[in-house]
Structure 1
Amino acid sequence: MLPLNFNFVSVAAIGAAHQLKGALYRFKPARTAAPPNWDNNGATMQAKEIAAPMTDPSFWADRYALCTLYFRKENGEQLEMNDAVVSVSRKKNIVTTQLVGMDGTVKEYVNADDYTVKIAVGVQAVKDGVFVDEYPTEGIKELRAFFDLNEPILVNSAFLEIFDIDRLVITDFAVAQATESNYQPITLSALSDTEYNVYSTEY
């Protein structure tokens, strides 16, 4: 019975396609103007080479490429995180308008959103500069003192400097208790923050 059902569906799909074939032929081309010009106005294309990655596995043995991340409060209190991985994303606000007889849309750039920053950090128990086999209670408390703040946090890392991010507002965090080791992963979400001067014209 299965092959009969399969053949029935195939025949029906082919029949529907033949019925629509004539209607599809009656559609007019959407583009009425000249096609876009890709000759770069007669100029030669310029390409810039990007550095190739180091592909020799032995080069990366016992090496790390993580950037140290620093949190600092307005009062100067600072926290250093060596085991942190950061991701950055940003959305552009664009208004799109559809025009009759034209494929695609007309785009109007409005502005760019804040950067959305995700931070995955691991906290380990340390005593006298040595890792110990204990749950990292104190380390988690120290980090919580930063993401419980209702004010911007000053941040610094070589990675965030690429995007000119030096202030963050923590929007949420997630901690799932890890009972199998002395390592507690924590995920933070934040938005970039910029200082603005707002002036009033009303007196």
Structure 2
Amino acid sequence: MKNLLITFSTLFFLTSCSDDEYINPEANKPLAEIIADQTLAARNPENPYDQTGADFYKNLTEYITKNGYPKSNAEIIDQLLFMANRKISNSTNKSIITITSEMISIILADPENTLFDLINNSELSAGVKINLTGFVTELADKQDEDYDNIHDFIVSYEQGIVQSLALQEDEKDTILKVSSISRYSLYEEARKRDRDWETGVTNRCIKNFKADNQFTIATLAVLFNHLQ
């Protein structure tokens, strides 16, 4: 299970040590236009919390546009810290915990188990905990599929949550925020892999960080307390 989750998020936000420079064809577009063009394939208007994922993607794009993709552990931590401090729609801000670089470093050491610990130790109901851990497990099982299939899976999952009679509305909220961010984050992962494939770039230069990293899982762990 752990190996599945680890390999699922390989190559996200990492860049090569190659001397070849990637020229972004969208560099001269306004940020809002870039985001609107890019996220068409990631959207699900049937999820009432789709904007939570869209805001996450906007913040992510803003960071990458300004700083590029991380090339070191410190830059990965800096990126996650930036995301943790940015406002996203429908975040509760109930958490009294302030995310620090030290906490993110701990999360990056074992993103999967950290996320599951956060879910299981939260005040969410047993049903929601089971639902969320099952959702993450399903994502891992689909790691080798292309993004269209993953998107279809998430949309179908979200439809089931929206229509569920077994879950309270406030319970659905947390699940749909997590799935929304996952959908947009995994979309960016797919875009990054496609770009690397087209340019012949490989990700070799980050040291002391899992070669097969779990950036989406780590991101969910960093943001989880603000989604309940």
TM-score normalised by L of structure 1: 0.23
Select the structure that is richer in strand: 1
TM-score (norm 2): 0.21
